[in-house]
Amino acid sequence: MRSVRLAVRLAWCNLRRRPTQAVLLLLTLTLATAMFGAGMALYGSADRPWDRVWAATDGFHVSAAYYRDRDVDRADVDLDAARARFAELAAAPEVRAVGGPWTHLYGLLDVDGGSEDLTAEIRDAGRSAVDQPLVTAGSWLSAGSDGVVLEQGLADALELGPGDTISVQGHEVAVRGVAMTVSRGRFPLSRPAQIWVTPATGETFRRIGLTEEGMEMQLRLNDPDDADAFAAAHRDIEAIGETSILSLETWRQRRTDSHSDIDILAGTLFAAGVLVGLLTVATAAVIVAGRMAAQTRQIGTLKAVGVTPRQVVLALLVENLALAGLATLVGLGAGRVVAPRLAEASQTVLGQPETPALTWGRVAIVAGVAAAVVVLATVRPAVRGLRHSTVRSLASGARPPRRPGHMARWVATPGLPLVGVLGLRSAWRRPGRLLTNAVGLSLAVAMIVVAAGLRPSLARLDAAGAASASPGEALSTGAVDTLYEQVRAIVLGTAGLLLVLATINALIIAALAARDSARNHATLRAVGATPRQTMAMLVVSQLGASLLAVALGLPLGLGLWSVMDGGDLPPVPVPTTTLVAIAAIVPLVFAALVTLPARRWAHQPPARALTYE
């Protein structure tokens, strides 16, 4: 207990002494947790509204649907056969109530700029025992009236309501009401567009050329939890042929599939969170490693007053876990602020989206991600701290030469300037630091590759969307673009974020490398090296890390991209020219970044670095 108290005090002192590092780590951690938090808050935010509509409409437990190819005279399963199978299903003892079967007519809705595929479901005027659509405006169908009821999504897309008229294949018909139901998803992500009509209106539609394309029947069982078993037991009714299809679907399947856009957005946020989280591991590892190298003096003092290596490592863990805890809180809070705004733009939610309750499980997942990031970053110094003496474990000593040094001989080699040799020697003698920096940078390189792959992929997504638009999708194509816009915004935002984080990562590495070598460079200045020479040495010593980072980061980025582009994004290989450009530009940019802190040290008189030990 005393150890923990001491560790907490040490951690608090460290946080106060190094606020910039703490803020940087907190910032990157929070970005990752916020993305996870938003993804979680978004995921499931359409479930409650769906449940409400399902309850209010006496929603189905099992839905049976039959559709046939309109262009053939005789389908694999004809309408009469389908009716017979429906009747058999409705007679099952588990069935408590039946809605339908309702005939579906196919036609074209006239809209600005063309037409939209339309299904007109023929309903009786009275209330159905199952799947009675919930009227949100106007009124339901009535006998003796030829008006139609629009599905909510269609009404929103057309910006029409009761009293307005729509035109179906040139025939104008009045809108009586607007309604929603779980048996039909919202237009435009659920197509074709849906309206409900009376049998009389259906006859009119037949006369103007609408064709019968199928029918649906909705069943309520004695127990909704039996839906899966019921569907499984009646799979023999299903028939999937070349010209017709008869299938069963349970309410749970429909509920899961009912908000595809939210699932895509949540999935994109999760993927972004994983990528940002990976980069955060690198940033945290570099910060922790840099601190270890700089903390030798303090650790020595602590050891002198009796602090054990275990306590020092514990302090480091406490400090980083505290930051992870804070990042979890901020991330979850930010996620819950952002998620409703994304969900409100959803085109599938039935009514107002509701952010699901924050369960301990969800908190644990986000906290686990943050904790994993800092523990991964701390594990190496922690293991070293536990295995070796304090100073040995925390001081990053140079690697002793295996053979006599050949610096002078190398310098005598034409084309190898002294600063280059010194820089290479410095990098070679500190392989651990070289590797840490290289791994940190390699994740940044990988993220740049992913970001580079996202751009052509999104362009192809746009092109694919435009190419697939058919004459019967004049209204829905534009609306579906809205979803693509949202995904594009998240993806491009993530790519930009990754680039910013990669740059911050490189800057931290550069600053720590410059600080780390300040004393050696001050010594070199004392024996006659110029500021420019010491700067060049630092750049050369870090170039090795950036070259190694490119060698590791390019395949890693390509691997990550190959995993990503198998999902919702169309597969587009990252162009070779882009990879070559990344391989060439990253070391140059990193060299330029290294010179920023190096310049600051190089132009200071060396006395301060020499006298401070």
Partner 1 sequence: MSAAGARPIVEARGLTRTYSANGVPLRAVDGVDLAVEAGETVSVMGPSGCGKSTLLHLLGGLERPDAGEIVLDGRRVDRLSETAWSVVRRRTIGFVFQSFNLVDELTALENVELPALLVGASGRRARRRAVELLEQLDVADRRHHLPDRLSGGERQRVALARALINDPLLILADEPTGNLDSRATGEILRLFADLRSSGQSLLVVTHDARVASTADRLLSMRDGAVVGHTHLGGVSPVGSVLAGLADFGDAEGAR
613 binds partner 1 (CB under 8 A): yes
Site string (367-406) toward partner 1, x via CB under 8 A: ------------------------------xx-xx--xx-
In the list 414, 415, 566, 605, the residue contacting partner 1 (rule: CB under 8 A) is: 605
528 binds partner 1 (CB under 8 A): yes
266 binds partner 1 (CB under 8 A): no
409 binds partner 1 (CB under 8 A): yes
CB of 526 vs partner 1, minimal distance in Å? 5
484 binds partner 1 (CB under 8 A): no
CB of 312 vs partner 1, minimal distance in Å? 21
Residue type for position 474: A
Give yes or no for a contact between 202 and 74, defined as CB atoms under 8 angstroms apart.
no
Q: 422 phi and psi, to 5 degrees?
A: -65, -40
In the list 305, 357, 408, 467, the residue contacting partner 1 (rule: CB under 8 A) is: 408
Under the phi-then-psi rule, with left for phi > 0, alpha for psi from -120 to 50, and beta for the rest, what region is 355?
Answer: beta
For residue 208, what are the contacts with CB-CB under 8 A and spacing of at least 6? 107, 168, 169, 170, 171
Residue 8 vs 610, nearer CB to partner 1: 610
CB of 591 vs partner 1, minimal distance in Å? 20
Give yes or no for a contact between 534 and 525, defined as CB atoms under 8 angstroms apart.
yes
426 binds partner 1 (CB under 8 A): yes
CB of 570 vs partner 1, minimal distance in Å? 50
Stretch that binds partner 1, among 197-205, 209-217, 362-370, 421-429 (CB under 8 A): 421-429
Residue type for position 203: E
CB of 22 vs partner 1, minimal distance in Å? 25
414 binds partner 1 (CB under 8 A): no
557-563: long-range contacts, CB 8 A cutoff, minimum separation 24: 557/445, 557/446, 557/447, 557/448, 557/449, 557/450, 557/453, 558/449, 560/275, 560/446, 560/449, 560/450, 561/449, 561/450, 561/453
CA dihedral 123, 129, 130, 131 (to 10 degrees): 50
Residue type for position 579: L
523 binds partner 1 (CB under 8 A): yes
CB contact burial 67-105 (16+ within 10 A = b; e otherwise): bbeeeeeebbbebeebeebbeebbeeebbebbbbbbbbb
Name the nearest CA neighbour of 609 among 601, 298, 510: 601
CB atoms within 10 A of CB 62: 27
In the list 173, 524, 543, 569, the residue contacting partner 1 (rule: CB under 8 A) is: 524
In the list 364, 526, 580, 584, the residue contacting partner 1 (rule: CB under 8 A) is: 526
CA atoms of 422 and 418, how far apart (whole Å): 6
- Count of residues near partner 1 by CB under 8 A: 41
For residue 526, what are the contacts with CB-CB under 8 A and spacing of at least 6? 606, 610
CB of 601 vs partner 1, minimal distance in Å? 11
Stretch that binds partner 1, among 44-52, 173-181, 314-322, 522-530 (CB under 8 A): 522-530
Stretch that binds partner 1, among 80-88, 205-213, 260-268, 521-529 (CB under 8 A): 521-529
In the list 9, 17, 297, 603, the residue contacting partner 1 (rule: CB under 8 A) is: 603
Binding site for partner 1 (CB under 8 A): 397-398, 400-401, 404-405, 407-412, 418, 422, 425-426, 429-430, 519-520, 522-533, 602-603, 605-608, 610-611, 613
